[in-house]
Structures are given as C-alpha cells and as structure tokens.
C-alpha cells in the first residue's frame, strides 16, 4: 500500500482516554469511531488501502493456518501461531518505511510477510532446516529472536547507529507481554530514553505468555511502563488495523524527527496456543476465548468494508483464492526444503580461520566417509 509520510502532530502524542483508554478507529462491530484524534494520521487511507490491509490479513492468517497444519502433519518441528494478532502485525508493519529495520520475536510472521519475506523461508527455522530463514539486510528485518526480550536491546543499539549516522529511519522492536518482564526490555527502555534514539517498541499484549496471564507480569498496564523511563506510550486496540497503523506512523514520525523512542502497547489476543506444543484448555476458559472471538480483527475489518460498500462476495472470493494459492505454494515449498549437508554444521561459526573448527570438520568428514564403503 502507499505509505504517506506521517508528521508529528503539533501537540505531540494526543491525549486520548476514550474506548477503555485505547486508541480505536474501527469499533468491534465495524463502525468508524468518532472523535479520536488519531484519524488524522490515517487520513490518506482510502478504499484501495483498506482492501489491501484486509488482503494482507487474510493471507497472513492463511499462512498461519497452513503452517499449523504442516506441523500437525509432521512437516514442521514447531509453529508459533499468530492467530488473532493479524491487525497488530499488519497495521504496524505497513506503517514501516523501506529503510526502517525490524527486530522481531518468533511470532511475527505477519510482519515478515509485509517486509517481503518468502513464507517458505519463514518455515526453514520451524522445519529444522536452518537456524533462520532470510538475509536481514535485504528485508530490513532481523531473524527471529527466541530468547525473549533480547531483541529490544538490539533494536536500541541499531537505533543508536542510525542516530550516529545522522539518518532519519527508525529501528522497531516487536515483543510480547511476557517479554515486558525481561531485564533486557527494561534495559532497552533505559538506554533508548537516555540516548534519545529513534526506536519504536511495539508490544503486542496478547494476554498470555504461554500459561501466564498478563496480570502475572504486572498490575499496571504495559503502556504505563513508559512513563517511568520518560518514554511516551500509546495504548492501542491491537485488533484494529487502522488504529495500529496510526499509532505506528506517529511513533515513526517522532523517531525520524529526533524525538526519541515511543512505546506502543497493542492490546490483542492470542486466539491459538502459544505454540503447537501448548494446550490452552489447561489454563484458560472457553468464556474468555469466546469474549475475544467476537473481537476478531478480520471480522471487524470485513464488517467495515461491507458496511461501506468496499467489498462484495466477488472481492472476498478473490482474496480467499489468492490466500489459498499462497498456502499451496507454501506447502510445496516446505516439502521441498532440503536438509543441509552435515558439513554445514561447521560453516560460519567464525569469520576467520579457526584451527579447532577446521580440525573437527576434517575429522568428522573422515568419520562419515568410513560408512561410504
């Protein structure tokens, strides 16, 4: 979609306490909200862009569903589903500019999709074919951080580099409510605020860190953490793609204007398990899941498109067909992913020569060769 250059509103971060304290531009039943000052940040988003956002979200969900199936069929070792977080990921990632650099956790498949990563490459990690799947420099996207919260510091350091270079881009860290308890996230907040670096912290509060509810992490909101560090924070309805887009644009504009870090808390819900190894029925209720099901981000955007006459059955069928094609290609690509040769174990451990690595490489090759005859 076209990216409008956002600017920092004259009054900085608008005060907003409506809609349970969350920035919301599309209501749960698919109506445009009235009075929220964040509308001015997405004033350029017209019919085509809304349809594009919807298409992204449908495709991303389809990638997720197909990957879940591939894991259940034994083709992936593990999968961390993003089901329910499509608006938070697509809305934020579509606000990014090409020269921004993203540091994701392991659940940001929607962000990776929006950055242009081939979905097949996303699966290399989960199939066990490799430890990561793409070249960070090509997509402006680091490979997934599995150590929870570690990437918040990397984003902060990268942003420090942007500042030292005198550039106007930004670094973006994605993490979850569980990560907000990690020391590295706290240290990242401290460093980012102290150095006034152009970083955006996008916390997707999906309510659950495996089996631990967000109230176990903190009794305040995650957005409130920003105040203690002097970091302005925006609490946004994370299931509202337009609100997330607006908040991220504002944060990026602040970063580019030299105003430093912004914390975005996107309040959403992990509709699926933590990973394919998890069983949410052991720790959360059907009632809770039902409560969030009606807030499904796709349902909401579809309702808006339908209500405003921007989508009909033909449009939805074409989106579904496009998503199915992506999924079919993903499945074919996954099954065709080759196992790396054993020798790859020793590649890229060091940049320069290393006698122990070379010795073990030779010794292991000699050992393997004894089986050839």
Smallest separation, CB 283 to another protein (Å): 27
Smallest separation, CB 231 to another protein (Å): 14
Q: How far apart are the first and last CA of the chain?
A: 58
Residue 244 or 263 with smaller CB distance to another protein: 263
- What amino acid positions are annotated as catalytic residues? 270, 274, 283
Angle, vertex CA 58, rays to CA 53 and CA 64, nearest 5: 125
Smallest separation, CB 142 to another protein (Å): 7
Between CA 52 and CA 320 the distance in angstroms is 13
Q: How far is CA 146 from CA 32, 92, 220, in A?
A: 37, 21, 26
Measured on CA atoms in the order 343, 348, 349, 350, is the torsion positive or negative? positive
Q: Identify which of 195, 82, 196, 103 has the alpha carbon closest to the alpha carbon of residue 148.
A: 103
141 neighbors 115 (Cβ within 8 angstroms): yes
Q: Which two tokens stand for residue 21?
A: 């304290």
Residue 192 or 311 with smaller CB distance to another protein: 192
Between CA 18 and CA 36 the distance in angstroms is 8
Smallest separation, CB 96 to another protein (Å): 17
Residue 28 or 130 with smaller CB distance to another protein: 130
1 neighbors 8 (Cβ within 8 angstroms): no
DSSP character string of 229-258 = HT--EEEEETT-HHHHHHHHHHHHHHHHTT
Smallest separation, CB 112 to another protein (Å): 14
Between CA 288 and CA 266 the distance in angstroms is 18
Q: How far is CA 64 from CA 104, 129, 215, 332, in A?
A: 16, 19, 27, 15
Residue 187 or 288 with smaller CB distance to another protein: 187
Smallest separation, CB 154 to another protein (Å): 4
Residue 74 or 352 with smaller CB distance to another protein: 352
Interface residues with another protein (CB under 8 A)?
101, 103, 130-132, 135-137, 142-143, 147, 150, 152-162, 164-165, 171, 183-184, 187-188, 190-191, 194, 347-352, 354-356
Residue 154 or 329 with smaller CB distance to another protein: 154
């Amino acid at each position: 979609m076209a990216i409008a250059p956002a600017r920092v509103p004259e009054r900085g971060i608008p005060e907003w306490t409506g809609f349970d304290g969350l920035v919301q531009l599309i209501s749960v039943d698919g109506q445009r909200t009235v009075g929220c000052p964040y509308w001015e940040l997405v004033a350029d988003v017209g019919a085509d862009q809304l349809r594009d956002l919807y298409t992204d979200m449908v495709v991303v969900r389809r990638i997720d569903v197909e990957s879940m199936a591939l894991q259940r069929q034994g083709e992936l070792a593990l999968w961390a589903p993003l089901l329910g977080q499509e608006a938070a990921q697509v809305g934020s990632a579509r606000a990014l500019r090409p020269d921004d650099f993203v540091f994701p956790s392991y659940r940001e498949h929607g962000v990776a999709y929006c950055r242009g990563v081939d979905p097949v490459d996303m699966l290399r990690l989960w199939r066990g074919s490799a430890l990561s799947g793409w070249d960070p420099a090509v997509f402006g996207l680091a490979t997934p951080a599995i150590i929870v919260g570690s990437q918040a510091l990397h984003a902060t350091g990268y942003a420090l580099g942007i500042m030292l270079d005198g550039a106007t881009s930004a670094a973006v860290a994605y993490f979850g409510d569980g990560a907000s308890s990690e020391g590295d996230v706290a240290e990242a907040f401290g460093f980012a605020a102290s150095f006034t670096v152009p970083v955006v912290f996008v916390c997707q509060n999906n309510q659950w860190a495996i089996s631990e509810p967000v109230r176990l992490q903190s009794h305040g909101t995650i957005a409130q953490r920003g105040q203690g560090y002097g970091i302005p924070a925006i609490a946004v309805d994370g299931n509202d793609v337009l609100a997330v887009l607006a908040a991220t644009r504002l944060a990026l504009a602040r970063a580019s204007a030299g105003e430093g870090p912004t914390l975005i808390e996107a309040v959403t819900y992990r509709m699926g398990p933590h990973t394919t190894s998890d069983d949410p029925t052991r720790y959360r209720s059907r009632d809770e899941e039902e409560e969030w099901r009606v807030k499904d981000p796709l349902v909401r955007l579809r309702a808006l498109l339908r209500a405003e006459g921007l989508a009909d059955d033909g449009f939805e069928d074409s989106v579904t067909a496009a998503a199915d094609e992506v999924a079919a290609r993903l499945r074919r690509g996954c099954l065709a992913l080759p196992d790396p040769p054993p020798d790859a174990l020793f590649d890229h451990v060091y940049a320069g020569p290393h006698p122990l690595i070379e010795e073990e490489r030779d010794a292991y090759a000699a050992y393997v060769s004894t089986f050839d005859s």
